[in-house]
Amino acid sequence: MSFLLNPFVFAGALGSFESIATVTVGGGGAANIEFTSIPGTYQHLQVRVISKSVNSAGDSGDLTFNGDTANNYAYHSLYGTGASAAAEAGTTRANIPSLRLVTSSSTSVFGAHVIDILDYASTSKNKTVRTFSGDDRNGSGAVLLNSGLWFATPAAVTSIKFTGRSFNIAEHSTAALYGIKA
């Protein structure tokens, strides 16, 4: 039983899914959430996140690997706004927009995200990320499917960082990193 048909249901055989680290944002918020010194002992990584912004207009949580903030990323997004389905893409950019940071005005509502980083420890592949995420705010919100690429190098991913683009990530936002063995 080792499939990746569904990124959050069949993430791996039972017993091969291990918790590596968790970050929960404390009072006042934080500029970023970061995992460092990620061991190369798994086949894939999964990050499970709930997120919110301190800003009343919301914000984006942008993903970078190994401290690389040069224009070495690209992404595609397919999303539903509640009114229409749409897609967008970005190339040669400094990050992958991965987290919808929900407006601070929607009390107690957090966006949810499941992010898979496949073959993260490979030294012969550029790294590809896929994300299923969404937030519903009872009359607004969106559901999204994203794919992202880090094409600078085939280096193993050893650190993952989500940064609030313009504002802090809000208190109670949580990111949990898991490793999946083959």
Partner 1 sequence: MAATYEPIASVTLGSTSTSVTFSSIPATYTDLVVACSVRFGSASGSRIRFNSDTATNYSSTYLLGQASAASSGRFSSVTSIRNNHIWGDATVASQFTPYGVSIQSYSSTSVYKTALWTYGTGGGLQGSNSETGKIVGLWRSTAAITTIEFAPFNATSYQIGSTFSLYGIKAA
Does 12 interact with partner 1 (rule: CB under 8 A)? yes
Q: In angstroms, rounded to a whole number, what is the distance separating the alpha carbons of residues 131 and 3? A: 17
Name residues contacting partner 1, limited to 42-61 (CB under 8 A): 48-50
Judged by beta carbon, residue 14 or residue 124, the one nearer partner 1 is: 14
The full DSSP string for 6-26 is STTTSSSSTTSEEEEEEEE--
Question: Exactly one of 134, 151, 155, 165 binds partner 1 (CB under 8 A); which one?
Answer: 134
Q: Which of 4, 118, 128, 136 binds partner 1 (CB under 8 A)?
A: 136
- Residue 142 near partner 1 by CB under 8 A: yes
Which region among 29-37, 61-69, 143-151, 152-160 touches partner 1 (by CB under 8 A)?
Answer: 143-151
> Interface with partner 1 includes 29 (CB under 8 A)?
no
Q: Which amino acid is at 49?
A: V
Q: Which two tokens stand for residue 41?
A: 């002992």
> Cβ contacts of residue 155 below 8 Å, gap of 6+?
66, 123
